[in-house]
Amino acid sequence: MKEINELNLPDGLRYTRDHEWVKIMGDAAIVGISDYAQDQLGDIVYVEMPEVGDEFKQGEEFGTLESVKAVSETYLPLTGEIIEINEALADAPELVNKDPYENWIVRIRPADLSELDSLLTVDEYLDLLNG
């Protein structure tokens, strides 16, 4: 497993305490899991997705990630509607291990951008990991 200083944690994203990230792109946003989360899970073998059109509140479970011997729920960082899922992950879940930022999980239309304020900056997220 990686040491904390070996983790790739890009600036400009917002992170959750459950190790998801969100990136605002116009009136949409993409959501994925952090390098820390993919490293902890190990080889990801399956990504369970919601359906396009599903709506979730901030912090609600929208899917799961599975490794061989563990299951981890994924929680939506912002209230919103799912407008796209990353189809590539169905056949190649290992992409999340390869680059967890390039390979987002869902694209959403956020309902309330002010919720961003409750999410962590990269420095705050690092503090969390350093515990």
Partner 1 sequence: MKNVSATVGLILNEPLLWEKGQKGRRGMDVPAADVPPAGIDAGLIGEGPDFPDLSEVDVIRHYTRLSQWNFGVDTGMYPLGSCTMKYNPKINDTVAATPEIAASHPMLPDALCQGTLKIMYELQDYLAAVTGLDAVSLQPAAGAHGELTGMLIFAAYHKSRGFRRTKILIPDTAHGTNPASAALCGLQPVPVPSGPDGMLDPEAVARLMDEQTAGIMVTNPNTLGLFEENIIRIAGIVHDAGGLVYGDGANMNAVMGVADLKRCGVDIVHLNLHKTFSTPHGGGGPGAGPVCVVEALRKFLPVPRVVRDKRGYRLDGNCPDSVGRIHAFHGNFGILVRAYSYIRCMGAENLHRASQLAVLNANYIKEKLKGELHLPYDRPCMHECVFSDLWQHAYKVSTLDMAKRLMDFGYHPPTIYFPLVVGGAIMIEPTETESKADIDRFIEAFCEIVREAKEEPEILHGAPHLCKVKRLDETAAARHPCLTGC
Partner 2 sequence: MRYLPHTDDEIQAMLQVVGVEGLEDLFAPVPGGCRRKEAMDLPAPMTEWELKDHVRGLAAMMKVKPDFKVLIGAGSYDHHIPAIIPALTSRSEFLTSYTPYQPEMAQGTLQGIFEYQTLTARLLGMDVANASIYDGASALAEALLMGIRISKKKKKVAISSAVHPHYRQVARTYFRPTDFELVELPVTADGRTDLAALEGLEDLAAVAVQSPNFFGIIEDLGAAAAAAHQREAIFITCFTEPLAYGLLKNPGSCGADIVCGEGQSFGIPRCFGGPGLGMFACRQQYVRSMPGRLVGQTTDLDGRRGYVLTLSTREQHIRREKATSNICSNQGLCAMTAGIYMAALGGTGLRELARLNYDKAEYFKAELVRAGAGICFAGPTFNEFVVEFDRSFRPVARRLLRKKVVAGLELGGHYPRLKDKYLFCVTETVSREIIDTVIEEVRR
In whole angstroms, the minimum distance from the beta carbon of 21 to partner 2 comes to 23
User: Considering beta carbons, is residue 80 or 93 the nearer one to partner 1?
Assistant: 93
Residue with tokens 């990504």: 47
Based on the shown chain and the rule CB under 8 A, indicate whether residue 53 belongs to the binding site for partner 2.
no
Q: Which long-range contacts (CB under 8 A, 24 or more apart) does 85-93 make?
A: 85/49, 85/50, 85/51, 85/52, 86/49, 89/47, 89/49, 90/47, 90/49, 93/44, 93/45, 93/46, 93/47, 93/65
Based on the shown chain and the rule CB under 8 A, indicate whether residue 69 belongs to the binding site for partner 1.
yes
In whole angstroms, the minimum distance from the beta carbon of 85 to partner 2 comes to 16
Among 63, 77, 80, 93, interactor with partner 1 by CB under 8 A: 93
Based on the shown chain and the rule CB under 8 A, indicate whether residue 94 belongs to the binding site for partner 1.
yes
In contact, 24 and 35? CB cutoff 8 Å: no
Based on the shown chain and the rule CB under 8 A, indicate whether residue 70 belongs to the binding site for partner 2.
yes
Q: Identify residue 36 by its one-letter amino acid code.
A: Y
Q: With CB under 8 A as the contact rule, which of the stretches 15-23, 39-47, 106-114, 121-129 interacts with partner 1?
A: 39-47
Contacts to partner 2 by CB under 8 A: 45-46, 48, 66-71
